[in-house]
Amino acid sequence: MGSKSVNRRVLVCGASKGIGRSIAIELATRGYQVFALARSKSRLAELEPWGITAIVSDLDKHESLCQDIAAYLPFQILINNAAGPSSGALIDSDVSILQHAFSRHVVASHILVQQLLPGMREADFGRIVNIISTSVYEPIPNLGVSNTIRAAMAGWAKSLARELPPKITINNILPGFTDTDRLATLCAKRAEVLNISKEKVYESWLQQVPEGRLAQPEETAKAVAFLVSEDAAYIRGISLAVDGGRLRSI
C-alpha cells in the first residue's frame, strides 16, 4: 500500500474468525497497524504472527467496550463487523431478539464511531467500513431478523455519510455466500428445516451465483482494503456487494 498505511491504526471488530479475521490479516500484511477485537482470547492469539494486537471485548457490553478500547486510541480506520442473528422467520422472532441484534450491530457501531471520530478528525483522515449483507438490497428467506438489522445498518451508514466531515468516509461491504463457519451453521439449519442434505442446500445456493462457487473470506477482505485506502477517498455512502453476481437488482 505504501508508507502511508504504516501510520494508519485499524480497529477490526469480530476479528477472531471468518471475514473479520481475514480483514485483520489482509490489512496487517499491507502495513497497517491492526488491532483485532473479539470475545475469544485464544482465537485472537492466533493472529499474533501477523503483528496484530488483540483486544478482548464484547460488542454486547457497551460500557466495558468503550473502556476496553480507550487505552488503544486513536484509530483512523474502523471495521464494524459482528456475528449475525440466528436464522428463522421474522414473524416468529421475539422482540428481545430484535432488540439484542439492534444493540449488537447498530448501537455498538454507533458508540464506536463516536469514540473513534475525534482521532479521525485529528488525523484529518478516517475510514469506516461496515460488513453487512446483500439483504440490504434483497431480503434473504429465513433470515428475517438479520434482514431487518442489516437494512438498519445501511440506513444508519447512509445518514452518517451526509454528516461526517470531509476525508472521513463510511461505506458498506455486502458479502454474498461466503465460506465461513456462519454459512456452515446456516446451511445445517436450513437442511434440517427442509429435511434435505447439506449438499443439496449448498447446491441450491450456488445455482443463484453466476460465479458458481462460494466466496472466500479473503476476497471480501481485499474489497475492504480498497475502501480504506487513499485511492477510495471519493467513495462515500455506498454499499458494495461481493457476491459473485448473485444480486438481481441493479
pLDDT tens across 120-169, in order?
999 999 999 999 999 999 999 889 999 999 999 999 999 999 999 999 99
Contact of 139 with 90, CB cutoff 8 Å: no
| Rounded distance between C-alpha atoms, residue 201 and residue 193, angstroms | 11
- Say yes or no to pLDDT of 1 above 50: no
Residue 172's pLDDT band, with cuts at 50, 70 and 90, is: very high
* pLDDT value of position 3: 53
| Rounded distance between C-alpha atoms, residue 150 and residue 85, angstroms | 10
**Which residue pairs from 55-62 have beta carbons closer than 8 angstroms and sit at least 24 positions apart in sequence?**
55/11, 59/13, 59/14, 59/104, 59/108, 60/100, 60/103, 60/104, 60/108, 62/103, 62/107, 62/108, 62/111
pLDDT tens across 186-208, in order?
888 888 888 899 898 888 888 99
Q: Domain limits of the chain?
A: 3-179+216-242
Arithmetic mean of pLDDT over the chain:
94
Residue 239's pLDDT band, with cuts at 50, 70 and 90, is: very high
3-179+216-242 is classed CATH 3.30.1540.10: no
| pLDDT greater at residue 201 or residue 232 | 232
Residue 13's pLDDT band, with cuts at 50, 70 and 90, is: very high
The pTM assigned to this predicted structure is 0.93
Contact of 78 with 116, CB cutoff 8 Å: yes
Over residues 4-33, the mean pLDDT reads: 94
- Chain-centroid distance, C-alpha 114: 18
| Rounded distance between C-alpha atoms, residue 25 and residue 48, angstroms | 10
- Say yes or no to pLDDT of 60 above 80: yes
Residue 6's pLDDT band, with cuts at 50, 70 and 90, is: low
Burial of 249 (0-12, 13-18, 19+ CB in 10 A): exposed
